[in-house]
A and B are shown apart, each in its own frame.
Chain A
């Protein structure tokens, strides 16, 4: 199992967790407190049905359809539901728009709040102490670590998800994509761009992020 170096050094995971969770699950099944089929479905949903591909489609639609973009900025949950994405942790979503002079960055300093319906579950780095601690005090440093250099004339807005609002960044549409289809555009949009640690680039040299 591939683990992060930081996890190896700072967060040694005991090998008995597999057994411990198995034992807990069988106890809860035995007591009739959980249904295994429902658990399987939940895991399947998070692994295969929700994720940043959903958010990428929302962004691509907003790029090509001005009226949709306006609805998205006005009432994100309703506009996102138009594309069929509704589930827990998405009842109260806000979309914040990047532009030539504004860059938005999303964090949850207190825990791990994240817009599940459009981005899925957060990556380890988003939930980790380095990101949570520094995003609010040194957002430009964080951005630099992700390869995003901003000039001083750009205003950085950090959104700390301290309540039940979940934030998604609407990245800038990159130059050179004028002739692309909605699908091709969606393929360019990364999770990191929708959290605000990166920009969308064309061609997708930042693939994999």
Chain B
């Protein structure tokens, strides 16, 4: 989706503000929404890719206006309702609907280690053949999917070189929408700064992006 979250290359967003001795959470509610989000993901009703997409679906003005964890509050509420774990009315009232059943938490102190160290799926699956080789020249395809994608706009249509094969990962464009894992190779692709940004960029500099087979074509 060509949303505001896809920020690479935008200009005039202001200076980077560096806070000295920054706390991990700026207020207790930030820590709570962080923990709630992780605990609820343990139900496996949705994936990390789906969470990322839920953030992307926020109205652009809200996305830019809200702080990072405020976005998470909206994301979690939206996911809970969409996947039927709670109703909108329950969120508004802050109380369970009368007669609703009580579940047993998936993520408890006893099981948290297992849940929190659960890996992001990937593999060296030899059955999934890479479509490209290291040192091969490739072009990032000029695609504009309306759903979730991890290919930033600034790289589309640009030519780069495969620097490394990272192995096999789930394809976010389908996985976020429950349309299958579509496992495929992910590569580190090196684009020169001049290819991405033109002649005024430094001739020495480059940007490396991690891109899936489906994002690439031969150049």
Contact = CB atoms under 8 A, between A and B. Distances in A.
Interface in B10-40: 10-11, 13-22, 24-29, 31-36, 38-40
B108 A158 contact: no
Contacts of A99: none
Contact of A2 (B24, B26, B38, B205): B26
A18 interface: yes
B150 interface: yes
24 contacts: A4-B17, A4-B19, A20-B29, A21-B36, A27-B91, A31-B90, A32-B103, A33-B85, A35-B107, A38-B112, A39-B35, A40-B35, A43-B25, A109-B6, A110-B7, A128-B17, A131-B16, A136-B196, A137-B8, A145-B16, A152-B202, A156-B205, A162-B150, A163-B166
A124 B68 contact: yes
B147 interface: no
Interface string A107-136: 101111000000011011101111111111
A43 B150 contact: no
B216 interface: no
Contacts of A100: none
B8 A42 contact: no
B109 to A, nearest CB: 5
Interface string B130-141: 000000000000
Interface in A132-162: 132-137, 139-140, 142, 145-146, 152-162
Interface in B175-202: 186, 188, 193, 196-197, 201-202
Given A32-B102, A139-B205, A110 B9 contact: no
B171 to A, nearest CB: 10
B127 interface: no
A180 interface: no
B146 interface: no
Interface residues of A, number: 88
A84 interface: no
Nearest to A132: B7
A208 B21 CA distance: 6
B117 A39 contact: no
A153 B205 CA distance: 10
B68 A159 contact: no
A139 B8 CA distance: 11
Contact of A123 (B22, B29, B64): B22
Contacts of A27: 86, 90-91, 94-96
B32 to A, nearest CB: 5
B143 interface: no
B13 A156 contact: no
B54 to A, nearest CB: 11
A154 B203 CA distance: 11
A163 B183 CA distance: 13
Contact of B16 (A39, A42, A120, A128): A128
A155 B20 CA distance: 28
A22 interface: yes
Given A37-B108, A136-B196, 8 more contacts: A13-B70, A43-B32, A87-B116, A107-B8, A124-B26, A134-B13, A145-B16, A146-B16
B24 A46 contact: yes
B157 interface: no
A125 B18 contact: yes
Contacts of A153: 204
A38 B32 CA distance: 11
A32 B105 contact: yes
Given A10-B14, A37-B108, A128-B16, A17 B211 contact: no
A11 B11 contact: no
Contacts of B150: 110, 162-163
